[in-house]
Amino acid sequence: MRLRFSTLDVFTNTRFAGNPLAVVLGADGLDSATMQTIACEFNLSETVFVLEPRDSINTARLRIFTPLRELPFAGHPTIGAAILLATQRAPEMLTRNGIVIALEEEIGLVRCDVVRDASRAILARFTAPRLPVRGAWSPEPAPLAKALGLESEEIGFGRHAPSTFSAGVELVFVPIRSRAALDRARPDPAAFAALLGERIGAYLYTSETVEPASAVAARMFANGVGIGEDPATGAAAAAFAGVAHAFEAPEDGEHEFVIEQGYAMGRPSRIILGSRIEAGALVAVTVAGHAVEVQRGDLDL
């Protein structure tokens, strides 16, 4: 069996930045074990497999794998696959009115709007399939600091305290007092894994950014998925809308800001996070970003 694949750099419009993604096309003949093996071979934070949709009205069905496990939902595979499918199937529509890509993921249907923007780069935006939900566990700063190689006083700023949120996968959100501390964080593998348990990672964030246009700088240290640090994490960004709502109490209306991630890895990424607040409640979350194709090839199985 020979299958086509592409790799893209996601949450960037520059090659060799952002979060690399492998997209395997026409994967209907593969079983789960083979998909997992291929994802391990690519050894990227995620590999996405494109299948025929269960409902013909939709564009495609996706299955998303890290090197060690399948995920029900992830942001950078969603953005990257939507942009690749849009450019392959209807490139002429991107410049005119854009195109809607409807993706069946394990979490449910994810709708992506794909368009070529004013800079000629291709941007995709999706509405999070689930609103962020706060977890029951509120981690204490001291054990978090120890697991992350930081001091307790470097955890927390303003009204922000450690929390857990999920928009499909649960993560620990850790506010960091300064960018210097964020850059210095180095998880202790044993302590980190023991503290997080089944949660797939810790998302560290600070209001001190590299780029003036960014609102938040972040790092995501993964747990139990086969990678150490993720250059850009769309699912975490979707859940972060819950963090912002809980600790910032934004007023009613539409809000949008940029999260920068991956700078400490030399893979600068920019995630555009949007939210809508009505009567004080968070009612919608969007995640947007660019992607650029890097290479194409064949898998011989």
pLDDT at 96: 83
Query: How far apart are the C-alpha atoms of 274 and 251, rounded to whole Å?
Result: 14
Alpha helix segments (H runs only) across 90-140: 91-96
pLDDT at 160: 98
Same domain, 167 and 277: yes
Same domain, 113 and 143: no
The arithmetic mean of pLDDT across residues 148-170, rounded, is 97
Reply yes or no on whether the pLDDT at 118 is more than 90.
no
Query: Domain limits at 261?
Result: 133-287
Same domain, 206 and 233: yes
The arithmetic mean of pLDDT across residues 55-82, rounded, is 98
Distance in Å from the first CA to the final CA of the chain: 5
Contact 29, 43 (CB under 8 A): no
Same domain, 115 and 150: no
| pLDDT grade for 7, boundaries at 50, 70 and 90 | very high
Same domain, 179 and 81: no
Same domain, 139 and 281: yes
Same domain, 142 and 257: yes
pLDDT at 268: 98
Query: How far apart are the C-alpha atoms of 214 and 258, rounded to whole Å?
Result: 5
Tokens encoding 294: 């890097």
Triad 271, 111, 67: Cα angle to 5°: 60
The arithmetic mean of pLDDT across residues 148-168, rounded, is 98
Query: What integer best gives the mean pLDDT of the chain?
Result: 97
Reply yes or no on whether the pLDDT at 95 is more than 90.
no
Tokens encoding 264: 């400490």
Same domain, 149 and 103: no
Q: pTM here?
A: 0.97
Task: Give residue for tokens 């001190």.
Answer: 208
pLDDT at 117: 87
Alpha helix segments (H runs only) across the chain: 32-42, 75-89, 91-96, 141-148, 179-184, 189-196, 234-248
The arithmetic mean of pLDDT across residues 123-139, rounded, is 97
Query: How far apart are the C-alpha atoms of 129 and 95, rounded to whole Å?
Result: 26
Same domain, 140 and 269: yes
Question: Amino acid identity, residue 166?
Answer: S
Radius of gyration over every alpha carbon of the chain, rounded to an integer in angstroms: 19
| pLDDT grade for 119, boundaries at 50, 70 and 90 | confident
pLDDT digits (tens, 9 = 90+) for 188-227: 999 999 999 999 999 999 999 999 999 999 999 999 999 9
pLDDT digits (tens, 9 = 90+) for 267-297: 999 999 999 999 999 999 999 999 999 999 9
Query: 238: number of CA atoms within 13 Å, CB side?
Result: 31
Q: What phi, psi does 108 have (nearest 5°)?
A: 140, -170
pLDDT at 40: 98
Question: How many CB atoms are located within 10 Å of the residue 189 CB?
Answer: 10
Query: How far apart are the C-alpha atoms of 151 and 143, rounded to whole Å?
Result: 10
The number of folded domains in the chain is 2
Same domain, 213 and 111: no
Same domain, 104 and 88: yes
pLDDT at 131: 98
Which among 41, 46, 105, 198 is annotated as catalytic? Answer: 46
**What CATH number does the domain containing 49 carry?**
3.10.310.10
pLDDT at 232: 98
Question: Amino acid identity, residue 142?
Answer: A
Active site residue 256: no
Same domain, 29 and 60: yes
Q: Which DSSP category does 117 fall into?
A: -
